[in-house]
Structure 1
Amino acid sequence: MTFTSSRSEFLTIRGLRCHVRHWGRDGAPKIFMLHGWMDVGASFQFVVDALQGDWHVIAPDWRGFGLSQRCGGDTYWFPDYLADLDAILRHYSPDEAVNLLGHSMGGNVVGLYAGARPERIRKLINLEGGGLRSSKPEQAPGRYAKWMDALLEQPELRNYPSQAAVAARLQKTNPRLGDERAAFLAQHWSAQNDAGEWEILGDPAHKQPGPLPYHVEDIMACWSAITAPVLWVEAEQTNMWTWMGGEQEGRAELERRLAHLRDLECKVLADAGHMLHHDQPEELAHLIEAFLAR
């Protein structure tokens, strides 16, 4: 299997060193791709391989993921992702509206951003970034207590004896992932430490529970402010209901949320799970290019 070559760049974004991966020709139309939680920008490799047109794909690693610098604190604050994205877009595309894609957590970020900065978005693609179950006020005391309790412990991520073991771990989570693609992801998802073990390239602090509530109506106010056409893509075998309160409740709530988008196209990818950009990259690339061409 041949993978399209990419190049790395490092920027200082809001005081942190940010790693940005590029594919394609400088000067070609841009697509910005934003990865999900515990993932990296290189995760979009297989979709890039399947694109047929002349594109410049730009995929940063969020702060504390991949090769980007960690925040240095004990908590990651979600609004920082929006401000980081704003700085990245101002650097690479200061004067033109952009094609913006996000997966999972990245989809949540781009949806908020597109409402806050609607004039900056040409087309928006959301891959299963539907959000979380809405918080209730009576949950606040327990949520703050859980956060403070977690701060008393040092979070850790498991290390692996080899890069092959990392690939096997990826395949355990996603059985659809073939050997060559798993091996490719493992080399970007991990790095060898001084002890000779392979560490996951993610700050363990991302595992900590957050103290802030998820106010879904605030999120929907942002979605309602989006003026760009939106492509929503979900997987037929998705597990996003896990963080939306179960499939029955989650499906109804997702439909309610999507109704806030004024110019919406919805697609479902067969034989795919939540990592749909790994499971069906060719079909996803086709949907992306057809949507951007319309």
Structure 2
Amino acid sequence: MYQVKRISRSEFVPIRNLSYHVRLWGEPTPGVAPLVLVHGWMDVAASYQFVVDAFSEAFAQGRCIIAPDWRGFGLTRWQSPDGQSGAGAPDNYWFADYLADLDFLLDHYAPGQAVDLLGHSLGGNVVMHYAGVRPERIRRLINLEGFGVPATRPSQAPGRYAKWMDELKRLHRGEMALKAYPEAGGVARRLMKTNPRLGQDKADWLAQHWAVPNAQGQWEILGDAAHKIPNAQLNRVDEVLALYARITAPTLAIEASDDSLSGWWGGKFTLAEFHERLKAVPHLTTGVIQDAGHMLHHDQPEQLARLIEDFVA
């Protein structure tokens, strides 16, 4: 099992009818911006443990590191006004809600203070959009493989709405439930199958945070199946570029040496297209993590930690 070097603590913050689970390392220090780490789709805040452990003592000392579990992931739970946990959970998720959740979280942890903000994958898209909406809240911005999605055409709207409604019906028929595993080792094997670079020690540790046993002893993934439903509305590249253009913070876009983007979209969206979009970001630096795939914070935490430290400093 992976041996943790820097122990985190958990807090639950009431935000927008949610009991938001937040993992923290270190303590706030006057004059030192908090480092906020937001995870990607079907991931959890604990996923950043390996990078936090790889930070130098000089960087980590006196710095508060904050990592929330997004709505519908990890230990974040819905909370009804009467205090009933689990009540009012949605049957689909809207991208704009991540922006609002992040805004509330920063108001709670860093009121009136600019933060260093990092996001991976889905979280990378969130932080790029948020930095265009609230540029004054960001001191340094880091995007880990938050590529976005292919450009769309208005003519695709009817089909997208129909697919959204069809997928909602599938969810309510119980056809989209996430697989449960008889023991934590099955979760670890799933993680290693998805990411062949992930070692057994890290996979065993992650499995304990990525899933929990239910009343029947089956290990259930800490992710809401409703996240599988595509957004009802089309992605508009012109809106994305308008948001990118409003980013004022120095921005670091980091990619893995493996090109996962082309594989996901089968040529419908390429790294070259993403790089073209990044030209709209005013103060941009790019970096590459060698010998890594999309889960670069698992594959090469030491390389990533050095890039983060140098950029934030």
TM-score exceeds 0.5: yes
How many angstroms does 1:243 deviate by?
A: 4.4
Task: Deviation per CA, 1:147-182: give whole Å up to 9, x if none.
Answer: 111111232000001001100100000011111111
* Greater shift in the superposed pair: 142-151 or 101-110: 142-151
Cα RMSD, aligned residues only: 1.3
How many angstroms does 1:29 deviate by?
A: 4.1
Are 1:220 and 2:222 matched, yes or no?
no
Indicate if the aligned counterparts of 1:238 and 1:272 stay in contact, CA closer than 8 A.
Answer: no
Hey, what's the Cα distance between the residues in 1 that align with 2:308 and 2:200? 25
Q: Which amino acid aligns with 1:40?
A: V
Query: Which among 135, 138, 163 is matched to residue 118 of structure 1?
Result: 135
Change (3 A) 1:100 1:137: same
| Equivalent runs, 1:265-276 vs 2, <5 Å | 265-276=285-296
Query: Which among 157, 169, 173 is matched to residue 152 of structure 1?
Result: 169
Task: Deviation per CA, 1:164-219: give whole Å up to 9, x if none.
Answer: 11001000000111111111110000000011100000011001122110111101
Q: Which amino acid aligns with 2:309?
A: E
Provide the secondary structure at the position in 2 that maps to 1:274: coil
Hey, what's the Cα distance between the residues in 2 that align with 1:164 and 1:29? 38
Indicate if the aligned counterparts of 1:133 and 1:243 stay in contact, CA closer than 8 A.
Answer: no
* Greater shift in the superposed pair: 5-14 or 237-246: 237-246
Query: Which among 57, 60, 76 is matched to residue 93 of structure 2?
Result: 76
Provide the secondary structure at the position in 1 that maps to 2:77: coil
Hey, what's the Cα distance between the residues in 1 that align with 2:272 and 2:28? 43
Q: Which amino acid aligns with 1:117?
A: R
Give the aligned partner of residue 40 of structure 1.
Answer: 44
Query: Which among 65, 68, 78 is matched to residue 60 of structure 1?
Result: 68
Give the aligned partner of residue 84 of structure 2.
Answer: none
Give the aligned partner of residue 197 of structure 1.
Answer: 218
Percentage of identical aligned residues: 55
Task: Deviation per CA, 1:33-87: give whole Å up to 9, x if none.
Answer: 0000000000000000001112211000000000001561211011010000000
Task: Deviation per CA, 1:82-136: give whole Å up to 9, x if none.
Answer: 0000000010001111100000000000000000000111000000112000111
Indicate if the aligned counterparts of 2:119 and 2:143 stay in contact, CA closer than 8 A.
Answer: yes
Give the aligned partner of residue 256 of structure 1.
Answer: 276
For this pair of structures, how many residues does the alignment match? 292
TM-score normalised by length of structure 2:
0.90
Ranges in structure 1 where 5+ consecutive residues have no aligned partner: none
Hey, what's the Cα distance between the residues in 2 that align with 1:26 and 1:259? 34
Hey, what's the Cα distance between the residues in 2 that align with 1:58 and 1:33? 6
Task: Deviation per CA, 1:238-278: give whole Å up to 9, x if none.
Answer: 3122445528x512211211101111110011100000000
Indicate if the aligned counterparts of 2:254 and 2:289 stay in contact, CA closer than 8 A.
Answer: yes
Ranges in structure 2 where 5+ consecutive residues have no aligned partner: 79-87
Give the aligned partner of residue 174 of structure 1.
Answer: 195
Indicate if the aligned counterparts of 2:33 and 2:113 stay in contact, CA closer than 8 A.
Answer: no
TM-score normalised by length of structure 1:
0.96
Indicate if the aligned counterparts of 1:132 and 1:243 stay in contact, CA closer than 8 A.
Answer: no
Change (3 A) 1:112 1:244: farther
Q: Which amino acid aligns with 2:42?
A: M
Hey, what's the Cα distance between the residues in 2 that align with 1:41 and 1:180? 18
Hey, what's the Cα distance between the residues in 1 that align with 2:91 and 2:27? 39
Hey, what's the Cα distance between the residues in 2 that align with 1:151 and 1:274? 28
Hey, what's the Cα distance between the residues in 1 that align with 2:94 and 2:150? 18
* Greater shift in the superposed pair: 100-109 or 54-63: 54-63
